[in-house]
């Protein structure tokens, strides 16, 4: 095999990864699917491929559909809440593609990726191709091998399932970072009045330990319950020995928690109308592996 197919594929890899991640909500699974797509590309009759980008998108999307079908069965047995794998993102260097607009950041937010678990694999594929990558219904139908009218139907159902977006980006980025930093500082310091000012009435907290690390098995709902939960975390003896850093994860202000150089958790607060409306904490070691590798 010459290096030519590999060189051609590498020009498409970033887009394929960002598409697969949105489809699967898992960076490690996205990497595997992209690699499987490369294997098919290297073995294909490329002389018969008129548009490599379209060919690769079609192959990879179908691999993602297969992966999603099996993942749905596995997640029914998942221990505790399932959250997507967080990915560190940086201006100009995000592995998830451009995140310059609110819409682009929304397309990779943990909130939306979690909501997309409600969708069937086909609905999710159509939604991602249309909303995040701007494919027309004709192009989407060609990728999925369906009629254009069916693509429109799947897209409509997906939007109905996801509902109207909350006003998550109604405050600017600097203010959102300030809110996140204040929230985490108040948690570690046990600052009850500070947390009460920051938490929305209907705030929800999720923790994904995947059965590997001790974590709440159910979502915690409401300001008072979440407040007690956060104060309990901040009061743990190990809280005095961890190091917290402000980071950007999935296009949003977040906090990475370390013990020495080991990444222990990524906490992504959801900000709605200037208040913390959700707290998603990923502590499963398997789900932190990709982000930890980004730091090396």
Q: Where are the domains of the chain?
A: 4-162, 173-294
* pLDDT value, residue 26: 95
Q: Is the pLDDT reported for residue 91 higher than 60?
A: no
Q: Is the pLDDT reported for residue 92 higher than 70?
A: no
Percent of the chain clearing pLDDT 70 (strictly above): 95
Decide which of 254 and 48 is more confident. Answer: 254
Q: How confident is the model at residue 169 (pLDDT cuts 50, 70, 90)?
A: low
The least confident of 55-64, 162-171, 177-186, 276-285 is 162-171
Decide which of 244 and 92 is more confident. Answer: 244
* pLDDT value, residue 1: 41
Average pLDDT over the chain, rounded to an integer: 90
Mean pLDDT across the stretch 184-193? 91
Q: Is the pLDDT reported for residue 97 higher than 80?
A: yes
Q: Is the pLDDT reported for residue 289 higher than 80?
A: yes
- Topology of the domain covering 173-294: Nuclear Transport Factor 2; Chain: A, (3.10.450)
Mean pLDDT across the stretch 212-223? 90
* pLDDT value, residue 234: 80
3-state secondary structure the chain: CCCHHHHHHHHHHHHHHHHHHHHHCCHHHHHHHHHHHHHHHHHCCHHHCCCHHHHHHHHHHHHHHHHHHHHHHHHCCCCCCCCCCCCECCCCCCCCCCCCCHHHHHCCCHHHHHHHHHCCHHHHHHHHHHHHCCCCHHHHHHHHCCCHHHHHHHHHHHHHHHCCCCCCCCCCHHHHHHHHHHHHHHHHHCCHHHHHHHEEEEEEEEEECCCCCCCCCCCEECHHHHHHHHHHHHHCHHHHHCEEEEEEECCEEEEEEEECCEEEEEEEEEEECCEEEEEEEECCHHHHHHHHHHCC
Q: How confident is the model over 4-33, as pLDDT tens digits?
A: 788 899 999 999 999 999 999 999 999 999
């Amino acid at each position: 095999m010459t290096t030519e197919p590999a060189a051609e594929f590498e020009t498409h890899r970033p887009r394929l990864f960002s598409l697969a991640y949105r489809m699967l909500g898992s960076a490690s699974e996205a990497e595997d699917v992209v690699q499987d797509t490369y294997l098919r590309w290297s073995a294909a009759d490329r002389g018969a491929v008129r548009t490599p980008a379209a060919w690769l998108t079609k192959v990879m999307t179908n691999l993602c559909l297969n992966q999603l079908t099996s993942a749905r069965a596995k997640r029914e047995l998942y221990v505790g809440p399932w959250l997507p794998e967080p990915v560190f993102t940086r201006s100009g260097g995000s592995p998830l593609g451009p995140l310059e607009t609110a819409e682009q950041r929304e397309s990779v937010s943990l909130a939306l990726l979690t909501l997309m678990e409600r969708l069937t694999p086909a609905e999710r594929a159509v939604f991602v191709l249309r909303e995040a990558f701007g494919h027309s219904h004709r192009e989407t139908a060609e990728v999925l091998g369906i009629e254009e009218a069916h693509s429109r139907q799947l897209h409509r159902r997906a939007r109905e399932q996801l509902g109207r977006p909350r006003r998550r980006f109604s405050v600017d980025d600097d203010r959102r970072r300030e809110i996140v930093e204040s929230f985490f500082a108040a948690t570690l310091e046990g600052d009850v009045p500070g947390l009460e000012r920051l938490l929305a009435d209907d705030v929800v907290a999720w923790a994904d330990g995947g059965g590997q690390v001790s974590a709440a098995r159910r979502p915690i709902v409401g300001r008072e319950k979440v407040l007690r939960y956060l104060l309990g975390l901040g009061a743990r003896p190990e809280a005095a020995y961890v190091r917290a850093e402000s980071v950007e994860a999935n296009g949003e202000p977040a906090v990475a928690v370390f013990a020495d150089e080991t990444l222990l958790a990524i906490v992504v607060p959801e900000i709605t109308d200037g208040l913390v409306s959700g707290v998603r904490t990923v502590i499963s070691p398997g789900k932190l592996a990709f982000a930890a590798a980004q730091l090396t």
